């Protein structure tokens, strides 16, 4: 009889078991090769009670310091604006050689806030990650074990990250079903500004524009919402705190993408105004080609 291989981590701690955190827990709970012991920690008593009820963690803690004491890996899954604050609470309590990670949707400002904290704890490896997966829902009930299946997870390890820690976090995300790629924090924020943050900005804005229309028109928008508008409303249903933090923290890259978008939208408007069929058709064809390549890459 052969011994079972040791799990990737003995103790894995998730701080903020909402959509992303509870999806990690669900996957790790279903696949015990990931961690022997799963600990969840949240500031909200209602979230803690729900996570305990769902049975997706072996222990549920209110106190982050108590939660991380035996951890081999701690993943902070709270809104971007709270990540460094949580890190400041847990770093002094973590054991030497442990890994600290987070899943925030913005990386440059998080890294700037983390750098002075991390310099006091050279024995903790910091490996930020961003799973490019999500829904418009929040909280522990929104999570599911297959959320990361076939999705990309972008890692932004600081220069000098120990190779074994990076390998562990890479393996973790592969075991979550994701495909993993490393990049710099700056590149990450520019990529996410165009593929995620600008589309959310547009969705929130178009819903606001529709809502600002006269009463009778508004009721028609809602009554006759066709697929285009409906798809925007799904994105616009996302959590306000999370998106406030993302917009404010990725300000430069997002505003740059917004400027480019406005210029391109104005060019499209001009083509419509002047009846420039070639420009209109080529834009639509590019959009269709992008959709086809997403389907081929199984990202649709």
Given the rule CB under 6 A, which of 92-100, 178-186, 238-246, 254-262 is the region that contacts ligand NAP? Answer: 238-246
User: Which CB, 21 or 157, lies closer to ligand NAP?
Assistant: 21
At 240, phi and psi to the nearest 5? -65, -40
Given the rule CB under 6 A, which of 40-48, 90-98, 271-279, 289-297 is the region that contacts ligand NAP? Answer: 40-48
Taking the C-alpha atoms of residue 135 and residue 77, their distance in angstroms, rounded to an integer, is 15
From candidates 11, 99, 104, 153, binder to ligand NAP by CB under 6 A = 104
Please give the helix or strand (H or E) that residue 159 lies within, else none.
none
Taking the C-alpha atoms of residue 173 and residue 9, their distance in angstroms, rounded to an integer, is 13
Cβ at position 171, least distance to ligand NAP in Å = 19
User: Which CB, 72 or 239, lies closer to ligand NAP?
Assistant: 239
Q: Please, which of residues 57-96 interact with ligand NAP by CB under 6 A? A: 77-80, 82, 86
Burial 105-142 (b: 16+ CB within 10 A, else e): bbbbbbbebbeebbeebeebbbbbbbbbbbeeebbbeb
User: Which CB, 40 or 210, lies closer to ligand NAP?
Assistant: 40
Given the rule CB under 6 A, which of 53-61, 111-119, 133-141, 256-264 is the region that contacts ligand NAP? Answer: 133-141
Q: Is residue 258 part of the contact set for ligand NAP (CB under 6 A)?
A: no
Identify which of 198, 169, 199, 195 has the alpha carbon closest to the alpha carbon of residue 181. 169
Compose the 168-207 pattern: x for residues touching ligand NAP by CB under 6 A, - for all others. Answer: ----------------------------------------
Taking the C-alpha atoms of residue 19 and residue 209, their distance in angstroms, rounded to an integer, is 29
Identify which of 32, 83, 73 has the alpha carbon closest to the alpha carbon of residue 56. 32
From candidates 7, 128, 134, 157, binder to ligand NAP by CB under 6 A = 134
Taking the C-alpha atoms of residue 77 and residue 102, their distance in angstroms, rounded to an integer, is 6
Cβ at position 172, least distance to ligand NAP in Å = 15
From candidates 25, 38, 47, 54, binder to ligand NAP by CB under 6 A = 47
Taking the C-alpha atoms of residue 300 and residue 285, their distance in angstroms, rounded to an integer, is 17
Given the rule CB under 6 A, which of 54-62, 92-100, 128-136, 170-178 is the region that contacts ligand NAP? Answer: 128-136
User: Which CB, 60 or 168, lies closer to ligand NAP?
Assistant: 60
Cβ at position 203, least distance to ligand NAP in Å = 13
Compose the 4-33 pattern: x for residues touching ligand NAP by CB under 6 A, - for all others. Answer: -----------xx-xxxx------------
Taking the C-alpha atoms of residue 211 and residue 242, their distance in angstroms, rounded to an integer, is 22
Cβ at position 198, least distance to ligand NAP in Å = 15
Taking the C-alpha atoms of residue 47 and residue 54, their distance in angstroms, rounded to an integer, is 10
Find the helix packing angle between 108-118 and 240-249, rounded to 10°: 80
Contact call for residues 97 and 122 (beta carbons, < 8 A)? no
Site residues, ligand NAP (CB under 6 A): 15-16, 18-21, 42-44, 47, 77-80, 82, 86, 103-105, 130-131, 134, 138-139, 239, 242, 246
């Amino acid at each position: 009889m052969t011994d079972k291989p040791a799990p990737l981590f003995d103790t894995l701690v998730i701080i903020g078991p909402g959509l992303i955190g509870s999806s990690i827990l669900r996957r790790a709970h279903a696949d015990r090769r990931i961690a022997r012991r799963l600990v969840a920690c949240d500031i909200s008593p209602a979230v803690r009670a729900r996570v305990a009820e769902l049975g997706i963690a072996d222990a549920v803690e209110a106190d982050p310091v108590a939660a991380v004491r035996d951890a081999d890996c701690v993943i902070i899954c709270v809104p971007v604006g709270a990540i460094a604050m949580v890190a400041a609470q847990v770093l002094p309590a973590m054991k030497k050689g442990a890994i600290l990670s987070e899943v925030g949707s913005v990386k440059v400002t998080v890294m700037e806030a983390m750098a002075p904290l991390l310099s006091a704890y050279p024995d903790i490896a910091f490996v930020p990650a961003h799973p490019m997966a999500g829904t418009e829902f929040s909280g522990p009930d929104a999570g599911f074990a297959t959320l990361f299946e076939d999705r990309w997870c972008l890692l932004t390890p600081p220069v000098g990250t120990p190779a074994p820690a990076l390998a562990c976090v890479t393996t973790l995300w592969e075991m979550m079903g994701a495909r993993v790629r490393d990049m710099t924090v700056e590149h990450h924020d520019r990529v996410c500004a165009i593929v995620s943050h600008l589309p959310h900005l547009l969705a929130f804005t178009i819903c606001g524009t529709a809502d600002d229309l006269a009463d009778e028109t508004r009721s028609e928008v809602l009554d006759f919402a066709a697929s285009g508008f409906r798809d925007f409303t799904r994105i616009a249903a996302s959590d306000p705190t999370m998106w406030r933090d993302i917009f404010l923290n990725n300000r430069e890259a997002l505003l740059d993408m917004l400027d480019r978008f406005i210029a391109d939208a104005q060019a499209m408007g001009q083509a419509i105004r002047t009846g420039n069929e070639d420009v209109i058709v080529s834009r639509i064809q590019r959009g269709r080609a992008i959709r086809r390549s997403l389907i081929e890459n199984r990202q649709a």
